[in-house]
Amino acid sequence: MSKENIVVIGNGMVGCKFLAAMLQKDVDSRFNLITFCEEPRPAYDRVHLSEYFSGKTAEDLTLQPIDWYTDNGITIHLEDKAVSIDRENKKVTSAKGLEVEYHTLILATGSTPFVPPVPGIEKEGVFVYRTIEDLEGMMEHAKKATKAAVVGGGLLGLEAAKATQDLGLESHVVEFASRLMPRQVDEEGGQILKDIIESRGLSVHLNKATTDILGDGKVEGMAFKDGSQLDVDMIVVSAGIRPRDELARESGLEVGPRGGVVVNDQLQTSDPSIYAIGEVALYNNFIYGLVAPGYNMAEIVADQLTGSEAAFTGADMSTKLKLIGTDVASFGNIETTEPHKDIVITDPVKGLYKRLITSEDGKQLIGGILIGDADAYGNLLQMTLNNIELPEDPMQLILPAGSGDAPAFGPGALPDSAQICSCENVTKGDICSAIENGATTLPELKKCTKAATGCGGCAALVTNLLNHQLKEMGHEVNTDLCEHFSHTRQELYQIVRTTDIEDFDTLLAEHGNGGRGCELCKPAVASILASVHNDKVIAKHNHKLQDSNDRFLANIQKDGTYSVVPRVPGGEITPDKLIVIGEVAKEYNLYTKITGGQRIDLFGAKVNDLPAIWKKLTDAGFESGHAYGKALRTVKSCVGSTWCRFGVQDSTSLAIEVENRYKGIRAPHKLKSAVSGCTRECAEAQSKDFGIIATENGWNLYLGGNGGMKPRHADLFASDLDKETLIKYIDRFLMYYIKTADKLTRTSVWVESLEGGMDHLRDVIIEDSLGICDELDKQMQHLVDTYHCEWKDAIEDPEKLKRFRHFSNSESHDPTIKQVLERDQIRPANEEELAKA
């Protein structure tokens, strides 16, 4: 039986979602999937397009790599636009002359930016904000521009304005309406939003109708209907969208008076074999301009084509986002004509506006607006969508935390049909089913349900639902460190900080549950004590807490020998020090290897030899590299502007300074960093816990990366920083991480678990929203001032040296260690070689 062709015109987010849905549902592979993509790359994430300005690459934003298409048998025609549809012969023709027959055709052509017909709009320096190529053009033009205006004060317009500001331009927002975001906020909320945005350095111009783009061939200004002008040399148009329905029009399909391909409940066009999904589809005279309804449409069509009944009945248009550092959320019907009551909290000083729209009897929530603080969005949206009865005092729902007892409302009150994640159409029932099948963490839920993997706005609600369901299933959601401490690691950190307790026994006696401790609490407390007091990890009262690596200040290897890793700050080393390392390696017959962190590792050291080896190394000026500890490992660097013709800053000097500042500082997990001298990124800074990349104006700081088992690109935290500000922000980041992260948690996992993520970190570290920056600064300075090389301390203390023996009553080496030569160096003998020995 031959397969039927399903041709998808358009490979944007919705078109890609349809293909993924078909792969999941078409288990018998009854169809050939073919898609046309006019862009040079496959579908990418337009929701997070602005992150391209903050260091994300086109590859980072790609939804599915090109291999995904080929591996799954999907034919994708890149850089080839479909130009005609022959409905009679059911055939699509492309710009390159390719003709493809179809059984079913999916129009996922999306939309195009609306560019108002203003005289001069074609001049050099005018851009739209839609594709990666558009952004690349903006970035290039910004190098020779000084002032930019964004035409349009909606969601995308404000994002574009922030982008131009980040490019170093004086930025203006020009809006035709009387308020910003006119579809999402009311007049009062719009005024507060305007004040907030202007406080962030952007200028807002309302009630402005552009009549002319000034300049001789290139942008030099804008003229408005009221007679005023604005001097700018760059313009970004973000004045709305228009559905790309030209193919449908030309082929005779029914379109709406104002555009859009008319579809029915099954998303079929006037031709039953042609469907339309996403921003090109006109359903009940409405174009849905958000990705979540488009994803829902894609799933519904895939269901129908694979034999399931499904229908589209509209979609919720509620939104929550962070605009220029400010929470803005809108849910339900904010323009209701029904009798209703308003509950409003306004605080222009703090930049807060909260409005709840309730039914006239005050029992049901119709809609609402949240500006400045949208933490309650998840609960309020669910109450609106599921007609959950309001408490007696609904204002409690939007009062700041600590303002009174919050009314009882939680995930348990939601029906199984409640949509928790609108981007991926995940219901409470889906999440509960995943939990019943073994998902017990947020990452596991994300993996099996895809909830919170789109815009991320539902992450807090998903976490609450997870904890609620685990409790309901009889699983105690226990955050205790272990049986010996009924506290979290974060709570124990605070106890140690506030009580000045300096040893494990005292902490256990005063704040524990008795016993002697265990393999969980001992190293965790040891790390806390080191992080707070910078005490010696192998001091008498700390030594018993350590695992074998910290106990011997070296990593134990598979054959019972140890590694020796001296610190090489920034990867810079003198010939004399190289010679010392070589001499030590030859004298003690050690395996040597240059690592990815720009250090030289020496392997195969016997425990008895460690003090003598380190005596020679410390005498030569080396310090412990802390390769055995949960501490800073390395700060990798390129040669930067000192040697490289592309370098714009001295990355090596900064890497050395950073490594010397943070060396020895104990943390919940190991830390790695890097400094790149330009955006070519030779030091791979974006794969580190904190990475630094040089710009012509200073340094960009990236946080939360990880190149380990689960790689994660770090996120841009702040741009064009001077060195003093850069160091201050890193100080606070590290201390906040040490203060709040759970045991053995990498910064990448910690950042992802923070509600609010990078925006929360900016609030804490830059804006001092928690009022703790002074404490963080002082604690870091204490750790820097009290640094000590752990190996130097050890070899100068006769009592500590007694521990470095294999036999307590003899200086003999371990006789069971067997090593063989390979490539002129030693390695541990394998099982077969040991048997022959």
* Buried/exposed code over 386-400 (b: 16+ C-beta within 10 A; e: otherwise): eebebbeebeebbee
678 is in an annotated binding site: yes
Which pair of tokens denotes residue 501? 């307790």
Please list the helix, strand and coil fractions of the chain in percent, rounded to the nearest 5, in that order. 35, 25, 45
* Token digits of residue 521: 């609490």
Residue type, 509: A
Instruction: Answer whether 68's CB lies under 8 Å from 35's CB.
Output: no
Positive or negative, the CA dihedral 369, 372, 375, 376 is negative
Q: Record the tokens describing residue 793, joined without a space.
A: 């301390």
On the CB side of 9, CA atoms within 13 Å amount to 30
β-bridge mates for residue 94, sequence order: 82
Contacts of 174 (CB under 8 A, 6+ apart): 149, 150, 151, 152, 153, 205, 208, 210, 222, 230
- Alpha helices by DSSP H, listed for 706-756, are 723-740, 747-753
Q: CA separation (Å) from 515 to 500, 505, 507, 528, 830?
A: 22, 10, 12, 19, 41
Burial class (CB within 10 angstroms; exposed 0-12, middle 13-18, buried 19+) of 775: middle
Cross-strand partners of 600: 594
The SS3 assignment for 705 reads coil
List phi, psi (to 5°) of 219: -65, 130
Q: From residue 374, how far is each of 184, 317, 379, 659, 784 by CA, in Å?
A: 14, 16, 10, 39, 38
Report CA-CA distances (Å) from 769 to 100, 345, 763, 766, 835: 58, 20, 5, 8, 64
List C-alpha distances in Å: 705 to 181, 691, 711, 751: 34, 8, 7, 9
* Of 517, 515, 542, residue with least CA distance to 528: 542
User: 442-447 long-range CB contacts below 8 Å, 24 or more apart?
Assistant: 442/466, 442/753, 443/752
518 is in an annotated binding site: no
DSSP per residue, 396-410: GGTSPTTSSPPPS--
| Burial of residue 416, with CB atoms counted within 10 A of its CB: 0-12 exposed, 13-18 middle, 19 or more buried | exposed
Alpha carbons 575 and 208: distance in angstroms, whole number: 67
Q: How far apart are CA 36 and CA 78, in angstroms?
A: 7
HEC assignment per residue over 633-681: EEEEECCHHHHCCCCCCCHHHHHHHHHHHHCCCECCCCEEEEEECCCCC
* Residue 596 CB partners (closer than 8 Å, separation 6+): 636
Q: What are phi and psi of 213, to 5 degrees?
A: -100, 115
Give the Cα separation of 705 and 629 in Å (integer): 19
Distance CA 375, CA 379 (A): 9
- The CA-based dihedral angle spanning residues 108, 112, 114, 118, taken in that order and rounded to the nearest 10 degrees: -150
Dihedral sign computed on CA atoms, order 40, 43, 49, 53: negative
Query: What type of residue sits at position 411?
Result: P
The residues, ordered by sequence, that sit 6+ positions from 97 with a Cβ below 8 Å of its Cβ are none
Residues forming the annotated binding site for [4Fe-4S] cluster? 638, 644, 678, 682
Residues forming the annotated binding site for siroheme? 682
Residues forming the annotated binding site? 638, 644, 678, 682
